[in-house]
Amino acid sequence: MTPDSNETEIDATDVPEDEIDRADERAPTAITLETMLAELRECTDTDFAKSKTDYQSYMVRAQLEIQNTGFHDRLVEIHESLSEQFVARKIRAIESWSNGESQFRIVAKPWESMLDKLYRINKEDNRVFSNPPIVPTIDEMAAGEKQGRHQRWITPENAHEVVDDLIRTKFVVPFVDGVVEVSEQITRAINDHGLKRFKRYHAKDTGYHARHYYVLLPVPGDDATPETTVALEIKVLTKIQDQLGELTHILYEKHRTGEIKLEHKRKVAWQLGTPDFLATYLGHTGHFLEAAICDLKNEILKLDGTPNGES
């Protein structure tokens, strides 16, 4: 891993979703991992496969370093506090992940997923085609810069400077207003620790709704490697959105391998009963229903004698 730029500005910045959504709407190329590696090697003149062990070692080191920070301790405290709170008498204020994980944890982006991301950056979403892409670094995004300053190939060695979800975690809540409340707690924690960050409020055409926070944290170097910076992605979303996210990721994999053709969203709107139609409109409908459930919850709390609908 190579050292990243010495950015000093600290700012909470909204990153526009239009660029992200347009990329999401494009059908992913039906391709295997082996073909990805071959195409990436051809265009970048770099054998990505040789970096697998180094990447995995870096991810282990980054996880350990983040777990030793005061900010990580603060996130654990927030999670533990929520696990002790109940809404409407018996509904716990924090949910388990879709895979059943109930304790706070951070996870690393798998090698295969990282390669897929680099393929999209260097090939599919590259606006300068066969030339190296121009993409903002995590430092530039934290400084509010919408465009990148440097044109270069993004490889496993410098991926940490650009890819914003190499390390990630999430807070899954039972009610949609909990997304807002927990987001405010996370924002206070970021501010208290003086960390650089940026955020995205997702409301995608694919039906996904969530808030994502990207917090920049140092990864100390050693005798062989310099200090680097990595972004910790923190998702805040409801249980329904978490479940739909896991299901639609399977759909993405099917599109990627070519097992299912991904049509443009205007066609999907009339392909009733297909997985893509169901995933898209369940997401939008689910978000509306969650808002209605939240209103019902608040009205019930008022009847139960809780002022202003607070539990």
141 and 13 in contact (C-beta within 8 Å)?
yes
Q: Is the pLDDT of residue 5 over 50?
A: no
Nearest to 163 by CA among 200, 208, 115: 115
What's the pLDDT score for residue 7? 30
**Could you give all domains of the chain from N- to C-terminal order, each with its CATH number?**
18-240 (3.30.460.10)
Task: Return the top range by mean pLDDT from 16-20, 243-247, 264-268.
Answer: 243-247
pLDDT tens track for 90-141: 999 999 999 999 999 999 999 999 999 999 999 999 988 889 999 999 999 9
Of the ranges 63-72, 173-182, 232-241, 249-258, which one carries the lowest mean pLDDT score? 249-258
| 306 confidence band (pLDDT: 50, 70, 90) | low
Three-state DSSP class for residue 145: coil
Length reported for the chain? 311
Three-state DSSP class for residue 196: coil
pLDDT mean over 246-272: 82
- For strand 167-173 and strand 228-238, is the pairing parallel, antiparallel, or unpaired? parallel
